[in-house]
Amino acid sequence: MIHVCQHPLVQHHLAALRDAATPPQLFRHLISEISQILFYEATRDLKLKPSTVTTPVAECASATLAEVIGLVPVLRAGLGMANALLEALPTASVWHLGLYRDHQTLKPVTYYNKLPANHGLDVAFVLDPMLATGGSANEAIRILKAAGVPRVIFIGVIAAPEGVQALRATHPDVPAFLGAIDSHLNERGYIVPGLGDAGDRQFGTV
Ligand code: PRP
Ligand code: URA
């Protein structure tokens, strides 16, 4: 399932995020705002278990999350998303996954993987603002599945149709929650109109 968020705030923040004049400080803030809204949509189906809490007045039937949740930011650009989502769900564990795109082949190269052997995750959210060719997302999801994570969900800010198609073809069981699907990829594998290089714009390395 591909879900493109229709929330007006996401569209509003996307306009500023795409703007080439937006500086890194504001860019990080906007990534954070958009990611949290996408996360609320992507977590709609998480399982709950019943619990009881004692309020100052009486006992109250309640519910808490029944599943162990992992956030998997794809370095570097997914880092800002992970920070934002930890604010929304501070009990989540974070598994950093370092992938970069080789500039010639556009294929992902893994350089860092910090998943503990006994992770115990029920659901992992792969976080990467850009779904371009889909190579990085597909590789991240492959690694998670190989590590035995039962359920994987992708959250991205801007996608190219090529990336969506690649994700669907390789991991049809993985839902994707996106802020927008743009026109196409250019000859250098950048999303058009997109926002440029999400890692560089977030960390001021343009
Ligand atoms: C960017 C982006 C994704 C990847 C998407 O990372 O953050 O991880 O490209 O492209 P794909 O769908 O074609 O794989 P990049 O390689 O620029 O690394 P960086 O975040 O460290 O700059
Ligand atoms: N990675 C980015 O950061 N931007 C793109 O447009 C494509 C890949």
The pLDDT profile of the chain, 206 residues, written as one tens digit per residue, is: 999 999 999 999 999 999 999 999 999 999 999 999 999 999 999 999 999 999 999 999 999 999 999 999 999 999 999 999 999 999 999 999 999 999 899 999 999 998 888 889 999 999 999 999 999 999 999 999 999 999 999 999 999 999 999 999 999 999 999 999 999 999 999 999 999 999 999 999 98
In CATH terms, the fold of domain 2-47+66-203 is: Rossmann fold (3.40.50)
Q: How far is the CA of 98 from the centre of ligand 1 (A)?
A: 10
Q: What is the 3-state secondary structure (H, E, C) of the chain?
A: CEEECCCHHHHHHHHHHHCCCCCHHHHHHHHHHHHHHHHHHHCCCCCEEEEEEECCCCEEEEEEECCCEEEEEEECCCHHHHHHHHHHCCCCEECCEEEEECCCCCCEEEEEECCCCCCCCCEEEEECCEECCCHHHHHHHHHHHHCCCCEEEEEEEEECHHHHHHHHHHCCCCCEEEEEECCEECCCCCEECCCCCHHHHHHCCC
User: Which one of 190, 200, 201, 205 would you pick to mutate in the ligand 2 pocket, going by the greatest count of ligand atoms within 8 A of its CB?
Assistant: 190
| Residue 18 annotated in active site | no
- Residue 105 annotated among the catalytic residues of the structure: yes
CA of 93 to the centre of ligand 2 (A): 26
Ligand 1 centroid to Cα of residue 47, in Å, is 31
Residue 118 has what pLDDT?
87
Choosing from 18, 101, 142, 168, the catalytic residue is: 101
With 0-12 / 13-18 / 19 or more C-beta atoms within 10 angstroms meaning exposed / middle / buried, residue 2 is middle
Polymer length of the chain:
206
Predicted pLDDT at 146: 95
Nearest to 69 by CA among 17, 125, 18: 125
- Ligand 2 pocket list (CB less than 6 A): 77, 130, 132, 189-191, 194, 197-199
The pLDDT value recorded for residue 191 is 98
Q: For residue 160, give both structure tokens.
A: 């190219």
**For ligand 1, is residue 132 a contact (CB within 6 Å)?**
yes
Q: What pTM, to 2 d.p., does this model score?
A: 0.96
What pLDDT, on the 0 to 100 scale, is given for residue 114? 82
Do the Cβ atoms of 178 and 157 come closer than 8 Å? yes
**Closest ligand by atom to 133 CA:** 1
Annotation marks residue 76 as catalytic: no
Q: Is 179 in the pocket of ligand 1 (CB under 6 A)?
A: no
Q: Where are the domains of the chain?
A: 2-47+66-203
